[in-house]
Structure 1
Amino acid sequence: MRTESKRRFLSKAAVALACVGGLASSTALADEHVLILLDKTGSMGGTSVPGLTRLQVAKARIDGYLQIIPSVPTKYAFWTFDNAGPTQVINFAANATPAQISAAVNATTLGGNTPLAGSVCSAVDALINFLPNQFHTKRVYLVTDGDENSTPALNQCAGTWSVGVWPTLDVGSWQAKVRNKACTGDANSAGPCGVFVPPYPPGLTLVADVDFLFTDNIPLQGDYEGREPGEGQTVRVPYEAAPSAATEVPFFSGLAQATRGRYAGVTQKTPATQATPLPGDANLDGCVNVTDRTQVLSQYGQKVPVGTGADFNRSGVVDTGDYQTVVNNFGRGCTTLSE
């Protein structure tokens, strides 16, 4: 993008933001603690969107998230998991910058088996026990392909696969325990989400964001395959999926919704601009331009579904951070000035 064109855009942006600034809430928000939890297990080496593995897509999604301007001061931690449990790559005490977290994410290589349940529960423990007596929003950002298979039997969140589908999860299943841990802080306490059991203080909030990278053996609405029941005959019937796989989409999306987080599913059929979205690209057309700025301004100060449209920083409100994200990335992905 030409420097002069971008200068004109930024000048208009400053004026526009000043005009709508009065719409934003003046209420001070608490700091946020974000623990990014990346699945680096062997299955993440499988193909995601054409030309990219699931791990590559996961890295791109996390990198884009780290370039978004948060609504409030934010501390970051970064963990990976494989084999017997999580690896604490960067903890909150390091006071790492988004750039440092991004570098660690991009240095991640594939590992072994998938202790998904135990790793999520360990991440929740780390979040709710970091500065536990202060009021902070806690967010676990999980990027995974969901194939739990190696959480140690004595782990607090170990369990069988649930036959029941969210929200009717089998008691003692790993899904039920992860749900309980994220909602109440106790893997065995099935209380309502957002009501943490003692010793955690009243008002503690934990948000679960989930990017679920899965293959097309999990059917989506409207997906069909051809079968030949007899010679010369072909019928269209819904795709079948393994019983365990069919429970994963409702589980991860349900967990995110119950904790007021954001869920995103990525398959081999997901358009590239949605699979690895640019920060600031509100309409997901692969170009951050005037259209995205206009969308932010039209929604500025409004409550929206978390992480949708112009709510890049997942606060549930289109705010200054979202606007600044467009400004910082203006022109990315665009081939002409008219886009």
Structure 2
Amino acid sequence: MADAPESTGTVSDAVRGNWVDRLAPPWSRPYLRLSRADRPIGTWLLLLPCWWSALLAGVATGGPSWWLAWVMAGCGIGAWLMRGAGCTWNDITDRNFDGRVARTASRPIPSGQVSVTQAAAWMCLQAVLALGILLTFPPLAIAMGIGSLALVCIYPFAKRFTWWPQIFLGLAFNWGALLGWVAVTGSFHPALLLLYLGGICWTIFYDTIYAHQDKEDDALIGVKSTARLFGANTARYLQYFIIGTLTLLAVAVIWALVPQTNILALVVAICGVWAMGWHMAWQLRQLDIDDGDTCLRLFRSNRDAGLIPGLFLAVALLV
């Protein structure tokens, strides 16, 4: 169990020397920490499926355009805001748990840096700003974006009633795999469902690694996770989620791009999925479930894993 942190201290699992701790005005730091601005990996993991989907739509519909550029930028701003709102909601609902876990006891609410009322106001402000971005998208994309709020609200409670809270995180964090294409084209393609499911497999993979940091505290307070469920067999189970990720993403890319695009663009896009698989396999070889520092490092490396297919899709956009 954690000792009570100092109310002005940094968050224990933040990147050392991050811009919030160094440059942000002191009054703003607790709010930025609620939004995880000092831990940007979550924003990347929320954003990347949006970019996969938007870029895939760009390849399928004939190449780059000013509207695709705006969707990419809008998704970036929206991901930062909605990740911040979601994390603030998570901290509000988990405030009693967080104070009892070493890694999370230094977060702003359990450490007394902000009140629940202040946190709720900050959450609402972020959500309203994100809505402003969403309203620039086509009507179907707006409806889908608003629909995702139910998943965001449910996720913090999942670890209280299921051993698979990572599935609920995946459902919320990969909603952009559905939204990005719709924002670009104004219509839905069934291949997006496979892209979404592939992203969920990826989320289970990386968040199981992340959850191994807390498994001892989680066991003491009764919080469930796939890390506790898989235990010593984690590496074997994560192999299945690598296979699921790659298979679903590859089929989604093929379905979306054939016959709308040329064979070279299709090959480039598939190579991006294959290269992401190599990165995930590398993570699995490095994994030590009993070393919290290694688990955190590998979890953070999934920004690079997710950027790989995005970069290949950007190349496919130009060929």
When normalised by structure 1's length, the TM-score is 0.30
- Relative to total residues, which structure has the larger strand share, 1 or 2? 1
| Greater per-residue helix proportion | 2
